[in-house]
Structure 1
Amino acid sequence: MSEHATRRPVLGDYATEIRSKNAGPFWVTMETFMKDSAGYAVAADESFLNEAVVADLYRVDAEQVQIFRIPALNVVKISFPRPVTQAGLRDRDIHAGQHHVPLAALRVPDRLTREDLVPIPEEELIFRLPTVFTDAAAERRHRKERLAGALRIFGRFGFEEGVAGHITARDPEFPDHFWVNPFGVSFKHVKVSDLLLVNHQGDVVQGRHRVNRAAFAIHAAVHAARPDAVGAAHSHSVYGRALSATGQRLEPITQDACAFYEDHGCYENYSGVADDPAEGRRIAEALGGHKAVILRNHGLLTAAGSVDAAAYWFITMERSAQAQLAAKAAGSTIQISHEEAKHTYGQVGFDLAGWFQFQPLFDQITRTDPDLFD
């Protein structure tokens, strides 16, 4: 591994020795012997190492910290009152021989010279790709975590409307079963342990809650018709519903909308809550091989080769609907040409692109909502 992939440097990396000792029972003295003038320049930089920094490291009064810079020797000497008197009851370093450790571990700010500007081999740069699993149990856990995370994200984006809305993940071992959010539980509160495993007859085979009948009717049909679809997402989001009520399709008026160019269908019927399996099959037929379908007077539905991509396609389709409605309310719109829209679709509309775009959102939600993994 190259030096580019190593940890951030600390003060000790620039020194031949950093040591500490008592200066009587009440004071500590530390000396940094730097390797060369460049290292000394780091240690002597008052914006990096100053009285306030030392005071913060050792919890002493900054006004009592003394720093002596000796360029002829490439040495910086630091003295300050011992935080604990030598040989006192709380003294854990009677000779002060370990006091230098926090100073040596002090992280050095990034500094660049022309010599540092060397191209890093592409294979050493971070670029995430989907995990390839060989164990069904591990893949199941992964899909459930992504599903719970996607539901939390939908909740954060305000895609809930009462108990309406559902995201599903096909089970990797039993493909005629899918995991789905429990009926009546807020998107914002769903945990991995709350998820339901449902078969294509609508029976809950794992979980404690009932399943939303519309979730069963729609998603069972989508997963049955689309063996490639691991994930599917539907909710009653505001702008998706608004667009569905106009009879419009998503138009190529923005770069993001081009992800759906000639790749979304429209279900033209509305016959109430979609809790009839026959209605689900008609929706699946309207979806066809596309990544999305607009359900007239109802909202949006997306499907993809991962939960990640299905969730992201829904999010960006909702925002593209918002942009289209806002643009048309402001005046006439300028569409991207067919050739450029097709070209852009090839750049942003493939399944891996949807998966990749979801990763920062998942990182955010797992950092703020770690309980979703329970």
Structure 2
Amino acid sequence: MARFPVSLVETSSQGIVVFVSENNFSVADSAGKIIASTSESQANSDNVTKISGPSDVSSNPSDTTIRAASFSRDGQLFAICTADKGIMIYDTKTWTVQRQLKTEKRTNAICFDPQGAFLVTADKFGDSYRIPTVSEGPTEMLLGHVSILCSVDFSYGSPTYVLSCDRDEKLRVSKYPNAYNIEAFGLGHREFVTSVATAEFAPTVAVTGSGDGTVRLWRIATGELLQTIELAEYLRVYYENGKTLCGENTFHDRSAATERYGVLRVRAVEALGAFVVAVERIPALLVLPMAEDSGFGRPMVVDLEAVPTDVAALGDRMVVSFVPRVDQGALVTAIKRDGEGFGVDGGLARALAENVVTREAESVPEVQSIFVWGNKMFLERPQEENEDEDAE
């Protein structure tokens, strides 16, 4: 029997990991044991805290798919945003709701500011707001783009910058909290920018991933492009050996001869001094160690058993969720450093495979391509996609 995928993975500095699937999420400790869950079936287990999930508070549970999630830097808070414009902020000691509210527009991405005092949202109309996490204070406009916002993050060190990226190919660096002061733009991507990541081990730089088949390294304060990684150079082999297929003359792949590499996520792995990249449809991770602030070292490719949906760092390990298959038992796995390369962390991977369970499906659910929502040529999009966007 097939199962719905784990769509998002988030980890905290306290060594816990959250797995999101549809409108539920489960919390595991660093050994892979489930300790809290919004799912009734998992919360019925011994010593598992029942969390109030979005379906418990929404007036329309069928539309409460969790779209994004984030921990505060100290791990004390966790937040989700849902498809029905809901925001919920949790205290991670008790997994009780600290604050919940509705936004005016559908939120695409969220993150906490460095102090955890505010939750910053990024929405489909290009606006970013900040929400007080403890008090019932008002939501404040932070900044605006003229295109869909895809990802948002904060720099480390001082001064503090908020980094936002959008469907119109750019990275914006703004001072915080006075984000109307734009410090720099990172210009050079040729397609939508899906993910931005910063790291404490390299506080002067940021890494972005895009639908243009590149990962780029930027100097935060100036917007200077320091390095470009062409994903095809390292991942083309998956097309050549048949592990990744181009759809022939489909919307997702306009031509079978055109190989596309869309970055799903870029994450910092602090314990390894590296960034890790997950790419749509490619059953692998690309690990980019930092040689110094001005550049990457030798990229390393990590083979996976299936195509990833997300990746996050858990100490010196990487937790990966997969696009499900009928013949695939595990929905998630764990990767660790193994000599000069990387391999499966057998103990944690087995625990996660046993404990992380999602709802059964009659067939393998389709995971929508990021090239659908990332396509700016509106009239070329499938009709049902246009109708869905109009409805929002």
Give the TM-score normalised by the residue count of structure 1.
Answer: 0.30
Higher gyration radius (CA): 1
User: Which structure has the highest strand share of the two?
Assistant: 2
Give the TM-score normalised by the residue count of structure 2.
Answer: 0.29
